[in-house]
Structure 1
Amino acid sequence: MIAVVSALGMTAALGGCGLGGDTDDVTLRLAAADYGDSAANSSKKYWAKLVEEYEADHPDVNVEVSVYSWNDVDAKVKEMIEAGKAPDMAQIGAYADYAADDLLYTADDLLSIPVQAGFSSALASAGQVNGVQYGLPFAASTRLLFYNKTLFEEADLTPPTTWAELAADAAALKAEGVKYPYALPLGSEEAQAETMQWLLSGGGGYTDTVGTYGIDSTENVETFTWLRDELVGEDLTGPVAPGKLNRADAFAAFARGEVGMLNGHPSLMKMAEKKGVKFGMVPMPGVNGESKATMGVADWMLAFKQNGHKEQVGDFLDFVYSEENVLAFSREYDLLPVTHAASEVMSGASEDQDLKPFLDELPLAEFYPVGKTSWAAVSAEVKKRIGSTVEPGGSPSAILGQLQSTATTAESSAAG
């Protein structure tokens, strides 16, 4: 998941008069995630404005949007499906299971050619199962290495470009009394993200070049061996064991000025700015230089076939993915646009320069293997186990081997 998890947990119906309109009217129902962190910037407001504009030009279509917190939205949609009451659309975190069950329209079924061709190629590919696109990218994020400029200046440091430089900088920060020289959140909240960022920087990843799981590859074992010995073993990751440190707590510590370096996404900028922390951002260091790939995360729009409103859903989604609407959403929530046109605007607009470093990373981004129905089980197991690889006496080869076994079994089950 990318974006701040909303604490609101609210559900709101937006737009449309529902079933009370003319008998020829069509009502489209969308279940959407809330990207806001308060009532003031809830996604409810974004959808309300968009729906109002769409319905003004489409009097025979009513659109009802239910907005749920990220804690609830995936489960809510699953409940609807199991009850035989699928929404027409769902804007959530995964699509593979629904595609495997043949519940979804494809992008070809729905979108006009300009809209479909307008998606970032990396994101469009990430939405595919066996070469067919079911997941329509809705929002994206990449990761950069954040560093505390004040702490770096006090220690007379420059941002690292290699793992060795990162470790040396962390050692210097520790000598200056910095609480978390490098914050390594491998706790249960989002361990799969920090893990993937490090795997990519070491030349590996969750899957190989043909999409087969390779979690216990030589490169991956070497990456976690280095983390265990050169960062955690040297006491450069702070007072909380990485396996117990969650991403939200690491971000909060950075905003308090207690962290020298950590991997972050755009929402961390506002958190740090609000607390007056001066920070810089650079690409993730690699073994021998800047990492050749960074981690990207995407959330997805799905369209379900159950209610049969293909034409109306397609027309509405063409409107959702207009340049104006994509830009409005991206700017409101500090996320990256998923279309080429909106990306070009943001790259050149002065108001969007804070997001440009993240936008520049998007063409290099690799995404979770979300097209695999096995990914949910693998991700859950990574969250449980990966922290133990860097504990004193931990065995990266053994733990990554066990995760590979989990992935192989999950893949076999999915294929069966």
Structure 2
Amino acid sequence: MDDRGGRLPVRRRAQGAIAAVAALGLAAGLSGCSGTSSADVTLRLVAADYGTSAADSTRAYWDRLVKDYESRHPDVHIEVTVQPRDQVDRTVRRMADAGDPPDLAQSTDYAGYAAQGLLYRADELLSIPVQADFLGSLSDAGQVQHVRYGIPFAASTRVLFYNKTLFRAAGLTPPTTWDELAHDAQVLKAQGVTYPYALPLGPQEAQAEALQWMLGGGAGCTDDLGTYTLNSQRNTDTFTWIRDELVGAGLTGPVPPADLDRSEAYAAFAAGDVGMVDAQPALVRQAQRTGVAFGTVPVPGRDSTSKTSLATTDWMMAFKKNGHRDEIGDFLDFVYDDNNVLDFSRTYDLLPVTTSASDAMAASAQDKKLAPFLDQLPLAELYPAGKPSWPAVGADMTRRIGQAVAPDGDPADVLDQLQSAAVEAEGATAG
């Protein structure tokens, strides 16, 4: 047993097995050759690119990590393919559908593959200390039928960013309720601010903005039993309020929310054209680059600060097709070493998914800018990623939810359509 618990490193396991066979004088007979060394193993990993340009591509992170790992394990080779984040899911799906999945993949979806019996369980791969170190809410979200297949890789939460210069000029304080947010937006509009409140419900991950508002309204997209409740009365009331009090009042800027992408909203904030926007840690560095003076507060809720914030995470998963379970597990233990987790999180302004790395970040002065996001993570709500139907449901939300808040939109009708499609998707993936 090694000092991480349970499993010896790959080379030590292989050497131990070879030594035992040699002692029995059976090596040549078993293999028809000398049998004095184990065959090299190559693992293929499809990874998402969290960078914003070639200069900060995630390729550089994986190159460093793989070089370090292979120097310690010369009989294991890691081939990494880095894909844009909006393409990585499709790439993995094409490979899996062709019967040639990678050994490891990052994705926003793992449940569908788990339901098909294609993935290793997390407890088949990871050492006990690594398994125990994941933040509880993230670990639970990686389960299908109470078995963990999705291994959290990177997390983020949301806070309300506000432009300090614009707020100071207008004599405003950051809002804690929806009514205060609408009031502040009205004042900012009167001051000539282009986007008093930026509401990105366009094709780029609109389901995240929508779910944050659902949570602020005291609901969500599922109930406590995991049943879809997209068309609940609380959700209907939430999007009706957004339509009437924000969009209809002209407080969301010149681009209709259904056409405004997250990246466009962030760029407008960094340019000084946005008064307020719900955003992830990525906006911190973007705003700092342009010199915008900004502050952050918890996302407002209907009657007070939202009791629950949205957290999102991407998942690591391991396919069984090519075997190599021990090598995959050993490599993942290395990936989730604190130094590597912190290196990745700091490089890409994301939150660690392990308790030990989170504690280290919370105690570090260099990570102070991420503290507001880190504070939200322990009790944050995640997508229902353990439902095989969620990728289809989330994609449908992204396509349609912007229609609900258009000035002439019908929130109840749009949410009814989403609910019907969700029920159908759930039935198609059941069993």
Q: TM-score, normalised by structure 2?
A: 0.90
2:211 aligned to which of 196, 203, 212: 196
Say yes or no: does 1:235 pair with 2:246: no
Partner residue of 1:263? Answer: 278
Per-residue CA distance 1:178-215 (angstroms, 9 max, x = gap):
11111111112221111001000000111111111000
Partner residue of 1:104? Answer: 119
Helix, strand or coil for the counterpart of 2:359? helix
Partner residue of 2:359? Answer: 344
Matches within 5 A, 1:37-76: 37-76=52-91
Partner residue of 2:334? Answer: 319
Partner residue of 2:289? Answer: 274
Helix, strand or coil for the counterpart of 1:64? strand
Say yes or no: does 1:138 pair with 2:140: no
Structure 1 portions without partners, runs of 5+: 1-21
How many matched pairs?
395
Displacement after TM superposition at 1:392 (Å): 2.1
Matches within 5 A, 1:143-158: 143-158=158-173
Partner residue of 2:319? Answer: 304
Say yes or no: does 1:292 pair with 2:282: no
Helix, strand or coil for the counterpart of 1:189? coil
Distance across 2 between alignment mates of 1:39 and 1:313: 28
Helix, strand or coil for the counterpart of 1:216? coil
Partner residue of 1:4? Answer: none
Helix, strand or coil for the counterpart of 2:91? helix
Q: Which residue identity lines up with residue 81 of structure 1 in the other structure?
A: A
Distance across 2 between alignment mates of 1:340 and 1:192: 27
Say yes or no: does 1:87 pair with 2:95: no
Displacement after TM superposition at 1:45 (Å): 1.3
Helix, strand or coil for the counterpart of 2:131? helix
Helix, strand or coil for the counterpart of 1:90? strand
Q: TM-score, normalised by structure 1?
A: 0.93
Q: Which residue identity lines up with residue 425 of structure 2 in the other structure?
A: A
Displacement after TM superposition at 1:71 (Å): 3.2
Q: Which residue identity lines up with residue 108 of structure 2 in the other structure?
A: G
What's the % identity of the aligned pairs?
59
> CA, structure 1 residues 72+385, in 2 after alignment: closer, same or farther (shift >3 Å)?
closer
Helix, strand or coil for the counterpart of 1:338? coil
Distance across 2 between alignment mates of 1:49 and 1:40: 15
1:396 aligned to which of 398, 402, 411: 411
Distance across 1 between alignment mates of 2:47 and 2:69: 17
Matches within 5 A, 1:151-230: 151-230=166-245
Distance across 1 between alignment mates of 2:131 and 2:186: 48
Displacement after TM superposition at 1:23 (Å): 6.3
- When structure 1 is superposed on structure 2, of 336-345 and 125-134 the one drifting more is 125-134
Distance across 2 between alignment mates of 1:342 and 1:333: 15
Displacement after TM superposition at 1:63 (Å): 1.5
Displacement after TM superposition at 1:83 (Å): 2.3
1:373 aligned to which of 381, 388, 398: 388
- When structure 1 is superposed on structure 2, of 232-241 and 316-325 the one drifting more is 232-241
Partner residue of 2:135? Answer: 120
Partner residue of 1:32? Answer: 47
Moved over 3 A (4+): none
Distance across 2 between alignment mates of 1:243 and 1:51: 41
Structure 2 portions without partners, runs of 5+: 1-36
Distance across 2 between alignment mates of 1:38 and 1:101: 35
Q: Which residue identity lines up with residue 42 of structure 2 in the other structure?
A: T
Say yes or no: does 1:246 pair with 2:273: no
Helix, strand or coil for the counterpart of 1:294? coil
Displacement after TM superposition at 1:393 (Å): 3.0
